[in-house]
Amino acid sequence: MQRLGVSRTLWFVVFPGFELLDLGGPLCAFNLAVDFHQARYDIRIVSTSGGLVRGSSGVAIDSVPPPSPNHLDTLMVVGAPTVDILDEQTETAALVRALAPRARRSASVCTGAFLLAAAGLLDGRRATTHWRYAAKLQQRHPSIKVEADRIFVREDDLWTSAGITAGIDLALAMIEEDCGIETSKAIARDLVVYHRRSGGQSQFSTMLELEPRPGRIRDALAYARTHLDERLSVEQLADVANISARQFARQFVAETGETPAHAIERLRCEAALPRIEGTREPLDQIAIKVGFGAMERMRRVCLRIYGQSPQALRRRGRAQT
């Protein structure tokens, strides 16, 4: 646990076009540790040349050029809304490459993993990033083991987090390591967030991808979410939407990019995942409760969506606790 007399240097690296919430979420968590929980963090926002750095939202943040510390405790690199913005940050990647060897631990928030990768820090390591860009990170850097469904990944002195708010989860885990679990729990309460979220980021990604515009298809999806244990045929969902089954199926694909059958399978798989990973409930009972009916059907869908069987997902969940 951190002694009150020890100050840990914590630098956030920003660049033009950075995502404001990637900075603000973790920064708020660490500031709460300082302001209300007697932690000692020396927090600075740094950039390649210092001065005002304008984020993607138009808000400008004051930064300093990197000092030359005797010891840098934590280096945290924020992300950007698109990878194209990160591709322009060659000087920032060089800065990260230079600073990381001085740090006890280095981290990224969201797409900031692309800057860690560009700096060569993730070669041969496990990492995660925003679900939308996980495949691109894997394609560009084949030596990285990208774990697309994780909220955050820690491997030795390297930490990476998933999309945007997952930076808060990462910050809480770091605070727990530095200051103890009671402090991190208290800060989670201050922030009104879960201390530890169950499940991976796929529970958010698919729902966001499926989300249609307001109207009949969205109403049918909302109904499906709360009736997963039922049969949920196209005809039943069409009745909820108050249109014909043929029109419903056509409009559903047009608005979500999925067939109704595949969408329902995704919803069921996502409902099953927290139970699979976080409980000892028999897998065959989970399959019944979320509407798969049979364990074999749930196994096939899990393999297609997550690339792992329910048994493997359960082992992974236990390994993370």
Q: Which of 110, 179, 269, 302 is flagged as catalytic?
A: 110
3-state SS, one letter per residue, for the chain? CCCCCCCEEEEEECCCCCCHHHHHHHHHHHHHHHHHHCCCEEEEEECCCCEEEECCCCCEEEEECCCCCCCEEEEEECCCCCHHHHHCCHHHHHHHHHHHHHEEEEEECHHHHHHHHHCCCCCCCEECCCHHHHHHHHHHCCCCEECCCCCEEEECCEEEECCCCHHHHHHHHHHHHHHCHHHHHHHHHHHCCCCCCCCCCHHHHHHHHHCCCCCHHHHHHHHHHCCCCCCCCHHHHHHHHCCCHHHHHHHHHHHHCCCHHHHHHHHHHHHHHHHHHHCCCCHHHHHHHCCCCCHHHHHHHHHHHHCCCHHHHHHHHHHHC
179 catalytic per annotation: no
Residues with a catalytic annotation lie at 110
